[in-house]
């Protein structure tokens, strides 16, 4: 599900038990080093903004940031709020499931509104 889009990038929500967003440049790059400088700067600005907003709103144990792209060779950045009691913690979300849980997290809709407000200020 696309949450935000501009001429440089777009943000999608990953369906998951945790708050998990993915940032993609509009132009298809395979590697970060292939991005033009302006795109790279905007990707990092948005990544840091999402991390900051996740920390403020969800108060996670940790925010994980990853750029793998092994299955989808299109540069994208994962930003995930992690909690000690999520199903995979301390493993990565692609790791071995540790437990079955249902997290009681604040409403994603409110987070989305807060994030969009900040993104529109960039």
Contact 54, 63 (CB under 8 A): yes
Q: What is the pLDDT of residues 12-35, one digit of tens each?
A: 999 999 999 999 999 999 999 999
Confidence band for 8, pLDDT divided at 50, 70 and 90: very high
Neighbours of 61 (CB within 10 A): 13
Q: State the CATH architecture for 2-119.
A: 2-Layer Sandwich (3.30)
Please tell me the predicted confidence (pLDDT) of residue 72: 74
Contact 78, 22 (CB under 8 A): yes
How many angstroms separate the CA atoms of 65 and 77, rounded?
A: 7
List Cβ neighbours of 84 (8 Å cut-off, separation of 6 or more).
61, 90
First to last CA, the chain: 22
Question: Model's pTM, two decimal places?
Answer: 0.95
Across the range 94-102, mean pLDDT stands at: 94
pLDDT at 1 over 90: no
DSSP-derived letter for residue 31 is S
Across the range 45-72, mean pLDDT stands at: 94
Query: What residue segments make up the domains of the chain, in order of their start?
Result: 2-119
> Which sign does the torsion angle of CA 80, 85, 87, 90 carry?
positive
Burial 23-34 (b: 16+ CB within 10 A, else e): bbbeeebeeeee
pLDDT at 121 over 80: yes
How many angstroms separate the CA atoms of 119 and 113, rounded?
A: 10
């Amino acid at each position: 599900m696309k949450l935000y889009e501009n001429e440089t990038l777009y943000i999608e929500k990953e369906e998951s038990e945790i708050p998990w967003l993915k940032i993609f440049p509009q132009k298809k790059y395979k590697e970060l080093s292939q991005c033009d400088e302006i795109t790279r700067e905007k990707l990092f600005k948005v990544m840091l903004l999402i991390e900051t907003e996740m920390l403020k709103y969800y108060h996670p144990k940790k925010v994980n940031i990853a750029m793998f792209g092994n299955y989808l060779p299109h540069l994208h950045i994962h930003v995930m709020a992690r909690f000690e009691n999520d199903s995979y913690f301390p493993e990565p979300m692609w790791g071995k499931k540790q437990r079955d849980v249902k997290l009681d997290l604040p409403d994603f809709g409110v987070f989305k509104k807060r994030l969009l407000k900040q993104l529109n200020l960039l």
